[in-house]
Chains A and B, each alone.
Chain A
Amino acid sequence: MNIEVRDVTVTLSRKDIVKDVSLKVREKAFVGLLGPNGSGKTTLLKSIYRVLKPASGVILMDGEDMKTMTYRESARRMGVVSQFNNLSFDFTAMEMVLMGRSPHKRALDRDTEEDYRIAEEALRRVDMLSFRDRSFLTLSGGEKQRIILARALAQQVEMLILDEPTNHLDIKYQIQIMDVVKSLGVGVLAALHDLNLTLMYCTYVYVLKDGRIVAHGPTEEVITEQLIRDVYEVDCSVVRDARSNKLNVTFFSRM
């Protein structure tokens, strides 16, 4: 499945947060969305996962305008791991993950053995199976994040939208989560802070600044010392690491 954003502008409180953005996530592509705080990454993602309505422009899913689809239809194909997952009510980890099955269910359907198997498999993938009966609200930020990813896995979608999926996580789980996502072989659009993580996983990136796309292309071509200085306003060196054969960004202090 592919997602195409065409000339989308999103307005919040009469201010244009996302301005005339176009981007495309091809089938099974791992696409990064970069940009400093306040550049409109989250707002753009929210309009893609339909929490915000664009003021203009269209968002297409496999060429079909998402506005014309029911939420259920889009939820069967597109899963979301967003930043804020505060609850006012408690559920167990397993119950949370099972909710990922709801777009596939009718109102009166029961959770079948198959649903439990899918949910368990999702929990296992994020290394949280032993937490299945724990109360979600007692989990740490990183553990919650992994449960939310498991919920998106249980949705069995062809496209994942991730908004800072590695926030709150220590490095082991950052890599684990990104590995899990990559191994799914589904399309991914991920807003990321960490440039090195972006270089490790994304094949293509879009860079947002003040709500506009200022650069896009294959990751290694886009992430350059010049671009980082322009967009993030910090100095750095981008050097290929001999052992991993990956580009690596090292920042310089201003002191």
Chain B
Amino acid sequence: MKKNLNPKHALLGTAIIVFIGALVLSILAAVTIGAVKVSLADVYRIVLYNVTHIELGDKAFLSSGTIYEIVWNLRMPRVMMGAIIGILLAMCGVVMQATVQNPLADPYILGISSGASLGATFSIMIGAASVFTGVLATMSTAFWAFFGALGAMSLVMILSHMGGGRVTSAKLVLAGCVVGSLCSAFTNMMIYIGKDAENMKSVTYWLLGSMVSARWPKLLLPGACMGIGVLFFLTQMRNLNTLLVGEEAAITLGVDLTRWRRIYMVVTSLLSAVAVCTCGIVGFVGLMIPHIVRGFAGSDHRFLLPLASLSGGIFLIWADVLARIVLKNTEIPLGVITSAIGAPIFVYMMVKKSYGFGGGER
């Protein structure tokens, strides 16, 4: 007989299963919502046919035509993209917070998003494609965003290694802030000197994040990265827990802190760079979701990591639904929605006594 060692674990284990169910249900529900009215039956017949090839009705209707295009080639990839990006961002947030042992860490604080913004703005405003020729001309905004994110990440790593000594979390966070402000300054300068109103609009749109461009082929990279990331971090949960108790304690508990910190930084940076270059900057998910989940699940990564990742996916699916339906005939940028929801929740948690951002009661 297997004795239940910790009743809280059983509860949280159940929660993981419930959250997986909620994610699936969210995907199925979100695909029915949109500007064009499509009956529930039609939506699910199309989804069912394209997933399992079970024909319920006219095959031509299920695999071609406007309704098919909307449901299967617009909405479905978009919902899936929301789930994937949400999982990626929340997962990166959790791991980054553990890695730098700072509850405020997320892709923003560590400069990665700012680097991506700079790259994307550069590409759009300067018209990177028209300045360069050959291979460089064919590179898309996403490529430049990824490039920018990697550049920012490398700079943060170099800065925090400078001056010798151990890489401390304080150094990492400060270096992140420095690189972040630097990138923002250049981004703003480019927006300021930019003349083309159309470009300006697309930069703003990119900076605020959006799932509009989601199509099946575009899911491949973030989807694969999410899969690899999830598998990798599932094996790292014990190390992550140990990292949270401090740099010295981690070493005395047998974790090679310097090595693992470097590995986690590189992996999360790559993952968030992929997320940011695919969908622009979707704020608050990487910061807020881990905190909310930590509020009820505690700091144990064996539960925190899966629960936060799933919550991130669910949250972003519904945030994107709101982005689609709140205003008639136009979309609200996703970043606006996530921040508008995120900020008040964050304030609530700040005011609420029982949650000290992982810092206990003050």
A and B bound? yes
**Residues of chain A whose beta carbon lies under 8 Å from any beta carbon of chain B:** 46, 49-51, 70-76, 78-80, 82, 84-92, 94-96, 99-100, 102-103, 105, 107-109, 111, 113, 116, 135-138, 155
Given A107-B235, A137-B356, A88:B102 Cβ within 8 A? yes
For A85, give its contact among B98, B249, B298, B359 (CB under 8 Å): B249
Residues in A neighbouring B98, C-beta threshold 8 A:
89
A-B contact pairs, 28 of them (CB 8 A): A50-B251, A51-B247, A51-B252, A75-B251, A75-B254, A79-B252, A80-B248, A85-B249, A89-B103, A89-B244, A89-B299, A90-B298, A90-B299, A90-B358, A90-B360, A92-B298, A96-B245, A99-B241, A99-B253, A102-B238, A102-B242, A102-B254, A107-B235, A107-B238, A108-B235, A135-B361, A137-B359, A137-B361
- Judged by a CB distance under 8 angstroms, whether B219 is at the interface is no
Q: Contact check, A89 vs B358: say whether CB atoms are below 8 A apart.
A: yes
The distance from the CB of B96 to the nearest CB of chain A, in whole angstroms, is: 13
CA distance A192 to B5 in the complex (A): 38
Contact status B252-A116, CB under 8 Å: no
B residues near A (Cβ < 8 Å) are 3, 5-6, 97-98, 101-103, 235-239, 241-242, 244-249, 251-256, 294, 298-300, 356, 358-361
B256: chain A residues within 8 A (beta carbon): 70-72
- B6 cross-chain contacts in A, Cβ below 8 A: 94, 116
Closest chain A CB from B248 CB (angstroms) = 5
Whether B5 lies near A116 (C-beta < 8 A) is yes
| Residue contact B300 to A95, C-beta cutoff 8 Å | yes
- Which of A87, A105, A135 is the one whose CB lies under 8 Å from B245? A87
Smallest Cβ-Cβ distance to A155: which chain B residue:
B253
Among A89, A105, A138, residue most surrounded by chain B Cβ atoms (within 10 Å)? A89
In the bound assembly, the distance between CA atoms of A188 and B355 in angstroms comes to 39
Q: For A84, A99, A109, which residue has the most chain B Cβ atoms within 10 angstroms?
A: A99
The 6 residue pairs across chains A and B that have the minimum distance between CB atoms: A137-B360, A75-B254, A103-B254, A80-B252, A89-B358, A72-B254
Q: Who on chain A is nearest to B234 by CB?
A: A108
Task: Please name all residues of chain A whose beta carbon is closer than 8 Å to the beta carbon of B239 when the two chains form the complex.
Answer: 107
Which chain B residue lies CB-closest to A83?
A: B248
Apart from A75-B252, A89-B358, A102-B241, list 7 A-B contacts with CB within 8 A.
A51-B248, A82-B252, A84-B246, A89-B299, A89-B359, A107-B237, A137-B360
Complex Cα gap A74–B358 (Å): 30
Contact partners of A89 in chain B: CB under 8 A: 97-98, 101, 103, 244, 294, 299, 358-359
| Contact status B103-A82, CB under 8 Å | no
Q: Do A105 and B358 contact each other (CB < 8 Å), given the known contacts A91-B299, A96-B245, A113-B3?
A: no
A86 to B226, CA, bound (A): 33
Min CB distance A104 to B, Å, is: 9
Q: How far is B294's CA from A84's CA once the two chains are assembled, in angstroms?
A: 24
Give the residue name and chain of the B residue nearest to A72 (CB). Answer: B254
Residues of chain A within 8 A (CB-CB) of B254 are 70-76, 102-103
Partner of B5, one of A46, A100, A113, A136: A113
